[in-house]
Amino acid sequence: MTVVANAAVIAVGLVALMLLPPAGDDESGERRIPARAAPAPASEPDPPPPVIATVESARAVGANELGLVPVIMYHRLLKKRIASIDRTPAQLRAELVKLAKAGYVPVTAAEFVSGRIDIPAGAHPVVLTFDDGHPSHFALDADGRPKRDTAVGVIYEVAEKYPDFRPVATFWVNRAPFGLPDRAQQEAAVKWLVDHGFEVANHTYTHPDLRRLSTKGAAEQIVRQERLLKKLGAPPSTTMALPYGSRPRKAKIAREGKWDGTRYRFDGVFLAGAEPSVPPYAKSFDSTAIWRIQSNGKQGECRRWCSAYWLEWLNEHPKERYTSDGDPEHISIPKRLRGNIISKAAKKVIAY
């Protein structure tokens, strides 16, 4: 956006210069300053003008919109961890700060799978996902603000300190979202999250291993949850996460199907491990099995498959990582990757 804004400023400045009276009068160069765009008012800012990427602008930021994206998977946040997949609020905070400092900007899983990755030029998308709708993910305090040390509380805290860190995430929930006991509270929670740009989507009704169910049984699990989410005011899910990362025997039925007269169709179905994902316009993208990375240190199995390992790896391999061109309408890539893009997206490509 800065590039276009500056171009406009330069154009306006040139016109202003041409209209200026001849040199020698008391108009100093300082008088040109008002020709600059006025700073946006603090409240209700106008949306920034759209960025149009070019070969030069894409090259300048090293844009690679076929690069790898970390989709990080979180479960419970507990002050004292019980299971190895639990994280403490302090661990979440430290990881988000690390992401913010490395130039990552969160997008939701829905935005990611639909290719709506609208982040500044040079930034890297990250998808923060929280499974199972645990009370530690979302709760409001007495003043109606996200409680400290919940996932949303920590995300807001980090975004306040790092304003480029967009405070959004995806919550894949089951039949008792956020452990809330009654319908009214569940509705209020879903409304708050959706109103603030978070995604609340389908993780099945009772969290079964879909591999052990019939096609009909699996579809029932998905439809029951979709009906609950609708009652709670959530928009139709466009993503789902497989409980335990376990794929049904017919993988496609997690993405698309029907039960009791209700259809469902997701843009993407997410696994529970164990690598960064390619974006949806890559030929190798499989919308029925999208990789995620468990948030964890580098012990045991996580020596290589969890977030500490992968975030370090992505920092050390910047050419492999997704870097935005700042223009959501185009897909900017180094020429060497031209063969990796799906034909549907070829029209939008800027190769440099």
Give the Cα separation of 228 and 218 in Å (integer): 16
Beta strands, E only, the chain: 71-74, 104-106, 124-131, 170-173, 199-202, 239-241, 256-259, 262-265, 268-274, 290-294, 331-333, 349-351
Give the Cα separation of 127 and 166 in Å (integer): 11
Residue 225 C-beta: closest distance to Zn ion, Å = 12
**DSSP structural state of residue 133:** -
Residue 226 C-beta: closest distance to Zn ion, Å = 16
Strands 262-265 and 256-259: antiparallel
Q: How many residues bind Zn ion (CB under 5 A)?
A: 3
Contacting residue, 111, 131, 149, 226, with Zn ion by CB under 5 A = 131
Residue 275 C-beta: closest distance to Zn ion, Å = 19
Residue 132 C-beta: closest distance to Zn ion, Å = 4
Torsion of CA 55, 267, 116, 169, to 10 degrees: -130
**Between residues 132 and 267, which has the closer beta carbon with respect to Zn ion?**
132
**Between residues 65 and 132, which has the closer beta carbon with respect to Zn ion?**
132
The answer to whether 132 contacts Zn ion (rule: CB under 5 A) is yes
Burial bucket for residue 218 (CB in 10 Å: 0-12, 13-18, 19+):
buried
- 79, 88 contact by CB (below 8 A): yes
Residue 203 C-beta: closest distance to Zn ion, Å = 6
Give the Cα separation of 296 and 309 in Å (integer): 9
CB atoms within 10 A of CB 348: 16
Show the site string, 64-83: x = touches Zn ion by CB under 5 A, - = not. --------------------
Give the Cα separation of 287 and 302 in Å (integer): 25
The answer to whether 86 contacts Zn ion (rule: CB under 5 A) is no
Cα dihedral across residues 95, 97, 101, 103: positive or negative: positive
- 169, 146 contact by CB (below 8 A): no
Q: Which range of residues in 28-36, 47-55, 243-251, 289-297 is near Zn ion by CB under 5 A?
A: 243-251
- 263, 219 contact by CB (below 8 A): no
**Helix (H) or strand (E) segment spanning residue 15:** helix 2-19
Select the residue whose beta carbon is closest to Zn ion and give its number: 131
Show the site string, 189-218: x = touches Zn ion by CB under 5 A, - = not. ------------------------------
**Between residues 131 and 327, which has the closer beta carbon with respect to Zn ion?**
131
Q: Which range of residues in 108-116, 225-233, 236-244, 275-283 is near Zn ion by CB under 5 A?
A: 236-244
Q: Which range of residues in 125-133, 186-194, 251-259, 276-284 is near Zn ion by CB under 5 A?
A: 125-133
**Between residues 129 and 238, which has the closer beta carbon with respect to Zn ion?**
129
CB atoms within 10 A of CB 42: 6
**Between residues 92 and 158, which has the closer beta carbon with respect to Zn ion?**
92
Q: Which range of residues in 14-22, 97-105, 126-134, 143-151 is near Zn ion by CB under 5 A?
A: 126-134
Residue 131 C-beta: closest distance to Zn ion, Å = 4
**Between residues 172 and 310, which has the closer beta carbon with respect to Zn ion?**
172
Residue 219 C-beta: closest distance to Zn ion, Å = 18
Q: Which range of residues in 40-48, 192-200, 242-250, 287-295 is near Zn ion by CB under 5 A?
A: 242-250
Q: Which range of residues in 63-71, 106-114, 132-140, 176-184 is near Zn ion by CB under 5 A?
A: 132-140
Give the Cα separation of 240 and 237 in Å (integer): 7
Interaction site with Zn ion (CB under 5 A): 131-132, 243
